[in-house]
Chains A and B, each alone.
Chain A
């Protein structure tokens, strides 16, 4: 978790970015995203705001 940041969806439309949103650094295994052609240890890390995430189950 990186911390709380102004909401970019609001900022992009001239808003004040409030309330602040929590920003996470989320790592995915490349093999899970793209399949077995990827090197086994490789990862892609994406900055994702909390309200863009859904519970996994």
Chain B
């Protein structure tokens, strides 16, 4: 928090010129604090909670699934239970569905209405995921979107686009990259990118680690 300055009433505001919405949210925060609805501590705790949720959680799940077939089965049959095994708190997700990519079927996730996303597993969604452009094109030109992420699935591969607009939150289990047979979970997890778990591209190739 280097870009802030403390003011007279004891908490921080950014120094640079704020947008309309930023000004509004700071004003709301100040009012909630003033009226004693929430405390500075609540805000700090919430920031820490939000930041603890990151794609590293998803990468741990995927890497474990790659090395442990029994875990993979549990991850697909009971995703929340599998998360609990890994000390990942997925309890705030209503229903959690894991979609396994295969040589013949690959999955891609979008929320055409807004920004539904498995936040406990992947953190906050990237801006492009929330953009109108992605939300339209994921549905009517999924292969075009994949091409922009460097992926060209052949015509005999079935692309399944999942529109996550209700109670379901989807995580794609990408294929394990070739040449990673000798690697352990920690190394493998480095290959599992956020975008590969949204399904717009593959996990990174093994050579990335060298």
Residues on A close to B: CB < 8 A? Answer: 2-3, 5, 8, 23, 25, 27, 30, 33-34, 39-49
Contact count band on B = 20 to 34
The interface stretch among B17-25, B29-37, B152-160, B193-201 is: B152-160
Once the chains are docked, how many angstroms separate the CA of A49 from the CA of B139?
A: 19
Contacts of B88 in A (CB 8 A): none
Q: Is B76's CB within 8 Å of the partner chain A?
A: no
A41–B102 alpha-carbon span in the complex (Å): 14
Residues in B with CB closer than 8 Å to A2 are 95, 167-168
User: Are the C-beta atoms of A8 and B155 separated by less than 8 Å?
Assistant: no
Which B residues have a C-beta under 8 Å from some C-beta of A?
Answer: 94-95, 139-140, 142-143, 155-168
Question: Does the CB pair B142–A42 fall under 8 Å?
Answer: yes
Give bound CA distance, A2 to B162, whole Å: 14
The CB with the most chain B CB atoms within 10 A, among A8, A27, A39, A49, is that of: A39
Docked-complex contact A34 and B166, CB < 8 angstroms: no
Known: A39-B143, A42-B142, A42-B143. A47 touches B167 (CB 8 A): yes
A41 touches B166 (CB 8 A): no
